[in-house]
Amino acid sequence: MRVRNALIYQIVFIGICLSPLQATEIMSPATQLGSKRLHGEVYYRHMADQELEINVGARSPLRVGNSTITATSNTELESQGSGNGVMGKLTFQPFESGLQYYVLGGVSTYDLKIPSGSYSNSYATDNPGYVVGGGIKYTLVPYTMVTPALSLEFSATHSRYQLTKFVSGDGKVISDSSNRLTLFEIQGALMASKKFIFDIGSVKASIDPYLGVKVSRTRAEFDELSTGANFSGTRVGVSPFFGFKFKPFPYEGIVVEGSVLNETSASVGLTFGF
């Protein structure tokens, strides 16, 4: 019974802790693209560290005399997550209005440390999971040579991962696990950017720094495949972000982005415009 209760706690911890782990990168400034313009990004992302406070509830039946009562307990835990992934994003602006549509997808892994006494148990993927999604961006204030651009963005992503490795905090237990995690995230972001154009030899180059804040709501479904048990959790996170797009050539460049506070992450990749 004690072993089963410990397993239930660990499953609930994972289901709730991982819910905000995969916040979606923006990877493009607020500047409008132009009518019938297509842009793409291919990038690598790294989640260095994420501190989470988790309120975990559990119930267990207790036999008192001839009666059975239910005992309820709540525990707040601080867990740490990290992960790496390769992503692609394709954006299209059909009209001059500044409304953009995009799709994204890629593969990603993660590691998770969950407190257990004086140690932290670790869970990890053996093979990468997948991420797919899409969204819209609207330029509220367009970029001009004098004024910066301001945009509002909404996105939705679906992710699925297999948790296949477990290591106890003291390192004495290393085993395979059979768990599946499914995440559905809705995210909104408000962003400002200012584009600067300059000459590099005979070529017109540009740099477009941007910053903003994103708010995400993620629903996590955790399935323990060996027993058929299912656990879920929902969490809302807020993260400021900042980055820049540098294009030394008309159609190619690099993009760099970082995020702080609720998550500490960094992404870098190539950008293409047509």
pTM of the model: 0.78
Average pLDDT over the chain, rounded to an integer: 79
pLDDT (tens digit, 9 = 90+) per residue, 149-180?
Answer: 999 999 999 988 887 887 877 777 788 878 78
pLDDT band at 189 (very low <50, low <70, confident <90, very high): very high
Q: Are 159 and 130 in contact (CB under 8 A)?
A: yes
Mean pLDDT of 220-236: 75
> Does residue 218 or residue 22 have the better pLDDT?
218
- Report the candidate in 170, 261, 274 with the shortest Cα–Cα distance to residue 216: 261
Q: What's the pLDDT score for residue 114?
A: 67
CB atoms within 10 A of CB 159: 24
Residue 264: its pLDDT value, please?
81
The average pLDDT across 136-152 equals: 94
Residue 82's pLDDT is 75
Among the residue ranges 43-57, 94-108, 183-197, 256-270, the one predicted with the least confidence is 43-57
43/127: higher pLDDT:
43
Tell me what percent of the residues of the chain surpass a pLDDT of 90. 42
Please compute the mean of the pLDDT values over residues 127-155 and round it to a whole number.
94
Beta bridge partners of 35: none
Whether 109 and 130 have beta carbons less than 8 Å apart is answered as no
Q: 254 — phi, psi (to 5°)?
A: -125, 155
Residue 226 confidence class, pLDDT cut points 50, 70, 90: confident
- For residue 48, CA distances in Å to 71, 82, 132, 140, 167 come to 38, 5, 22, 32, 20
pLDDT tens profile 17-73: 333 445 689 999 999 998 999 999 999 998 776 554 444 455 545 444 444 444 455
Q: Using CA atoms, how far apart are residues 157 and 51, in angstroms rounded to an integer?
A: 22
- pLDDT: which is higher, 35 or 123: 35
For 131-152, what is the mean pLDDT? 94
If you average pLDDT over each of 99-113, 186-200, 251-265, which comes out highest? 186-200
Given the DSSP bridges, would you call strands 149-167 and 119-124 parallel, antiparallel or unpaired? antiparallel
The confidence score (pLDDT) of residue 75 equals: 52
Residue 220 or residue 71, greater confidence: 220
Query: To which residue do tokens 């790496």 refer?
Result: 84
Q: Please report, in angstroms and rounded to a whole number, the separation of the first and last CA atoms in the chain.
A: 62
CA 261 to chain centre: 13
CB–CB of 30/153 below 8 Å? no
Is the pLDDT score of 142 beyond 50?
A: yes
Q: What was the pLDDT predicted at 223?
A: 77
Q: CA neighbours within 13 Å on the CB side: how many for 41? A: 27
